Amino acid sequence: MPRFTEIRAGAVALVLIGTAAAEEIPPEPGTGTLARTPAVASTDMVVAANPLAAEAGARILRAGGGAIDAAIATQMVLNLVEPQSSGIGGGAFLLYYDAVSGVVTSYDGREVAPAAVAADQFLDPDGAPRGYLDALVGGHAVGVPGLLKMLDRAHREHGLLPWPDLFAPAIDLAAAGFRISPRLNRLIEKVPTLRRLDATVGYFMTEDGAAKPVGTVLANPRLAETFRLIAEHGVEVFYSGAIGHDLVAAVQTVPINPGRLTTADLAGYQARIRNPVCLDYRGFTVCGMGPPSSGGLTSLQMLGLLRRFDLGRLDPNSATAVHLFAEAGRLAFADRDLFIADPDYAPVPVAALLNRAYLAQRAALIDPKRSHGPVVAGRPPGITGGHWVPGTSPELPATSHLSIVDRNANAVALTTSIEFAFGSALMVRGFLLNNQLTDFSFVPTRDGRAVANRVEPGKRPRSSMAPSLVFDPDGRLMLVIGSPGGSRIICYVAKVIVGVIDWGLDVQAAIDLPNRCNRNGDTDLERGTGLARIGDALEAMGHIVAERDMNSGLHGIMITETGLIGAADPRREGVAIGR
Q: How far apart are CA 466 and CA 295, in angstroms?
A: 4
Other Cβ atoms less than 10 A from the Cβ of 451: the count is: 23
Q: Which of 468, 470, 466 is nearest to 559 (CA)?
A: 470
Q: How far apart are CA 33 and CA 373, in angstroms?
A: 28
Q: At what angle do helices 319-339 and 489-501 cross, to 10 degrees?
A: 130
3-class DSSP state for residue 479? strand
Q: Which of 75, 44, 137 is nearest to 414 (CA)?
A: 75
The answer to whether residues 564 and 15 touch, using CB atoms and an 8 Å cutoff, is no
* Residue type at position 46: V
CB proximity list for 279: less than 8 A, separation 6 or greater: 285, 286, 300, 303, 304, 354
Distances (CA, A) of 188 to 108, 222, 224, 290, 399: 30, 20, 21, 33, 15
Q: Which of 325, 82, 343 is nearest to 188 (CA)?
A: 82
Q: How far apart are CA 358 and CA 107, in angstroms?
A: 28
Cα-Cα-Cα-Cα torsion 257, 261, 263, 269, nearest 10 degrees, comes to: -140
Distances (CA, A) of 447 to 338, 378, 387, 454, 524: 14, 19, 12, 14, 30
User: Could you write out the DSSP letters of every residue in 113-149?
Assistant: --TT--TTTTB-TTSPBPPHHHHHSTTTTPPBP-HHH
| Torsion sign (Cα): 545, 548, 553, 556 | positive
Q: Which of 490, 462, 485 is nearest to 553 (CA)?
A: 485
Residues carrying an active site annotation? 399
Q: How far apart are CA 186 and CA 193, in angstroms?
A: 14
Q: How far apart are CA 433 and CA 21, in angstroms?
A: 32
The answer to whether residues 243 and 71 touch, using CB atoms and an 8 Å cutoff, is no
